[in-house]
Amino acid sequence: MRPLDGIKVVTFEHAIAAPFCTRQLADLGARVIKVERPGTGDFARGYDERVSGLASHFVWTNRSKESITLDVKQAHAIEVVHKLLADADVFVQNLAPGATQRLGLDYEALSERYPRLIVCDISGYGLDGPFRDKKAYDLLIQSESGFLSITGSEGEPAKAGCSIADIAAGMYGYTNILAALLERGRTGRGKHIDVSMLESMVEWMSYPLYYAIDGQTAPRQTGASHATIFPYGPFKAGDGKTVMLGLQNEREWKKFCETVIQLPQLQADNRFCSNSRRVANRDELARLILDAFASLSAAQVIERLDEAGIANARMNDMQAVWTHEQLVARQRWTTVQTPAGEIPALYPPGVAPSEEPRMGAVPALGQHSEAILQELGFSSTQIEDMHAVGAI
């Protein structure tokens, strides 16, 4: 038995935030029915063709779901939506601002008709306030939340390489839905969840916000190095390869000086005798470290770091991650089916393969439309009529 077996989720979703949220629910056993626009579907289906002709974003966030196509501007389609919602536990949506209100599918309308239904709205800025109607995409929220102001190199802001704002909002949607299911078990009533990408990212920005409180200077843009701890970041070895390392305390600084760079005299150097001083003099210290590494290969640097108990990592590219020996040793890879064939997929973090997490297929557009309609009691003639008018 999976934790969410028997839970039914209906979702009006596109792009990443809501699909990532509902995929987590599907992983735990929930039945997720994805309502898509006839002909085109979730626009993330067309982002690229990297996975045997399918989009990389889409296959990541949409496994284990059923796809039904509905033109929700038509009365026949809205009738289908209400039949889907009649026994649903959760309704998730991240449509354009105001779209569900115009369709009569906002929380106020739905809660009267389905008092046990949990409604999760995921949006850029939330359902009220002066930014309510602004469109929001991941990079825009990275900028609005201040993330770009502390990321990248000085004068050259850089976005995160993955959809971090979408992921943040999707995870807060997911965890709030789980909490609402527990709460409904006690109260018998559903709940409204209003998750914004901006608030999700600002929560993740709390450390730099507190660092800059009361008008103090914000963390510097320091590329792949830590802005407020040093040495903590990438350093080139003599063979041109990069080693990532990080120190957290004075005990580690002592070991680093003695064992790794073999300059024990730096322990007593006033420029480097605390983290704050090392940060203030990071350029001078970086030169000393790079000089010490110049005669060593990356493998030799890592060997010394391991000997000293200093945290370190390789700077892997995507191909190295696919074959990462730790993931292989822990048997974290499996496969899922797609309309283009079988692809590898990572098991959900925290879930053991022996627990048999749900790793179902990525659906083709509208793949389950007729089966779902039949399940809801529509006859073949009615389904044909809906096809004829483009309602499905």
pLDDT score recorded for residue 352? 87
pLDDT per residue over 367-386, tens digit each?
999 999 999 999 999 999 99
> CB burial class (10 A; 0-12, 13-18, 19+) of residue 89?
buried
Contact (CB, 8 A) for 36 and 68: yes
Q: What is the CATH number of the domain that holds 254?
A: 3.30.1540.10
282 in a domain, yes or no? yes
339 in a domain, yes or no? no
pLDDT score of 354 more than 90: no
Give the separation between CA 135 and CA 317, rounded to whole angstroms.
Answer: 33
pLDDT score of 1 more than 90: no
As annotated, the active-site residues are 226
Least confident of 16-30, 68-82, 104-118, 217-231: 217-231
> CB burial class (10 A; 0-12, 13-18, 19+) of residue 245?
buried
pLDDT per residue over 43-77, tens digit each?
999 999 999 999 999 999 999 999 999 999 999 99
pLDDT score of 292 more than 90: yes
15 in a domain, yes or no? yes
**DSSP, residue by residue, 20-65:** HHHHHHHHTT-EEEEEE-TTT-SGGGGS--TBTTB-HHHHHH-TTE
Contact (CB, 8 A) for 192 and 202: no
pLDDT score of 24 more than 90: yes
Residues 36 and 161 in one domain: yes
Residues 39 and 118 in one domain: yes
Q: What is the C-alpha radius of gyration for the chain, rounded to an integer number of angstroms?
A: 25
Mean pLDDT of 211-219: 93
Residue closest to 225 by CA, chosen among 282, 270, 263, 269: 282
> CB burial class (10 A; 0-12, 13-18, 19+) of residue 145?
buried
The domain in which residue 253 lies consists of: 232-315
Mean pLDDT of 308-336: 93
CA within 13 Å, CB half, 295: 6
Q: What is the CATH number of the domain that holds 79?
A: 3.40.50.10540
Please state the domain count of the chain: 2
Phi, psi (rounded to 5 degrees) for 350: 90, -10
24 in a domain, yes or no? yes
- List, in sequence order, every residue forming a beta bridge with 242; answer none if it has no partner: 236
Question: pLDDT > 90: what percent of the chain?
Answer: 94
Contact (CB, 8 A) for 35 and 72: yes
Residues 172 and 251 in one domain: no
333 in a domain, yes or no? no
336 in a domain, yes or no? no
pLDDT score of 159 more than 90: yes
Label the pairing between strands 118-123 and 311-314.
Answer: unpaired
Residues 20 and 137 in one domain: yes
Amino acid at position 270, single letter:
N
What distances in angstroms separate CA 215 from CA 3, 17, 41, 76, 179, one per listed residue?
46, 33, 47, 57, 36
Can you give the pTM of this predicted structure?
A: 0.91
